[in-house]
Structure 1
Amino acid sequence: MNKIIILIFLLFSAFIHGQIENKDFDNLVKLGEIYSKNVNATGDEFKNSVEKLRTPNLNHIIDALIAVGEEDEKLLTKEFLSKPSDLELKYWYVIREIHYNRVSKEKQPRPNKIVAEEVLESEIDERWLLANYYYRIQGGIAKVFNDADLSDYNFNINDYGLKNETEKAILYFSLTGAMTQRFMVLQVLKKPEKLLEFADKLPAFNGKPYYEYTSFDFEDFDWVGYDKTESYKKVHIGNVYQSINAYFSAIADKKDTEKARDIYFKSILYIPKYFKYSGLMESDLNEIYKKSKE
């Protein structure tokens, strides 16, 4: 009986792979290889190469990569921020794994077709799939923000086909990461005025400043990066803490007491249940919170 079940599984896997291979498989592998050599997707050579790989199921991936390379403001539209189909998310993960297979310093590279087959035949946490997609376009969004004033934008997180608070937070983390991770660098460089210039260009989220988004009560999960596995919430809520702290500090240096109070009391700086994700800030946050209650 067990042999029959195994045989049926193998035949089914072969059938599915045959369907994928006939339509997309070879082009998907080639796309992953081209991407791995130019993860910023820049230049005419990249664009011309990926244009030749179009299929109905690869079109949106290629459009997204070209938009990243061209720093196209279309990346901020529903066309690219809405949740892709399950199949497309799987294809994006194939591209990721082909890239990691190529650049790994710990493992011997394997044939990319085998890597692709393994991904396509594996059950992968849908949260990893979504986080990977937004990560792949995040660099393009960061470059858009370098020059664009997005203060008139409002990202309504409910508008992108995301089914729960986890998925909505994944999008929020990606967008804010693209725009505010530079705050920590500018804080170290002691350039508060430059930090505030960028802060003034930030979009709203659900009609409010980015620091007022606090919907992080979803279940934590292991987040698999390039070479290690970490708590997703610790990494990403931690990044939000750092950016808000940098922003708060720049406002405090400016002695804008009213704005500083607004940032503190309306953000996760004032929510104790999240302090454990703040890293080295946890002790200070607890102390400041206690004093605020006196």
Structure 2
Amino acid sequence: MREVIDLFKINEYFRSEDFKFTMILIRRSPLTILGISITLLLIMIALLAPIIATEDPTKTDMSKRLLPPSMEHPFGTDQLGRDIFSRVIWGSRISLFIAVAVVAISLTIGTLIGLVSGYFGGKIDEILMRITDMFMAFPRLILALAVAAALGPGLFNTMMAIAFVDWVFYARLARAMALQIREETYIEAARAVGASDIRIIVGHVLPMAIPTLVVRATLDMGGTILTAAALGFLGLGVQPPTPEWGVMVSEGRRFITEQWWVSTFPGFAILLATMGFNLLGDGINDILNVRARR
């Protein structure tokens, strides 16, 4: 019965004026459409990697070493004879998984700390924000490098290192939203009828903060892919022979002057994915701002 009610609500939303207005805003923004298209393409490639990839991404064949792009190998081969096209396709899974996992962890931790700090204020706010300031005092990439070096290379450690750095931005943003929302009249009304602090935070403050946090999370997806690629490039991220874009760029830097394709195609994949998420985040931000003004 609940599933039927949910489907009815979804159907009603698609027929509502809000949905039509949102679609009008999207159609009027070519960059938003481009961002959505790139993001959907990245997701489809990651999901269909076993079908799209023409070869095993870890299979080596020294007889095909450093072959230029051709019909058999659209992106050429690397120094071990591995098909770069297949490695780029499979690398989309790694990069997308890192981006989603890191943003989810950072968003959860940062939102929790920020909402508690902003809602309660006082000493709790002072302590939590001074801890946040300590993390923000270090450059993002430098701190991620330090944490990754301490934890050691690997996929899980890469995600933990980036999440360890990124949560502070969500904490600051969630705190600012909580400071604003807690002064609203309906929050005072909820307190007056005896609602607990946890219920007010979860039921009233969090839903109002979610749109802004989602915009930030979408924009951070591209930055997370860049940071993960940087760690892989420096040897502190995902390790070979895993097909990760940053590692592939690092492996091809020795051949960049003659065998340009080894680094160029994974580098272009990083550029495309980052640009797609940034355009998508900007588009969502513009839509929410217009809807708010409306």
| Superposition TM-score tier, normalisation by shorter sequence | under 0.3
Could you say which structure has the greater relative contact order, defined with CA pairs below 8 angstroms and 6 or more residues apart? 2
Give TM-score scaled by structure 2 length: 0.23
Specify which structure has the higher proportion of helix. 2
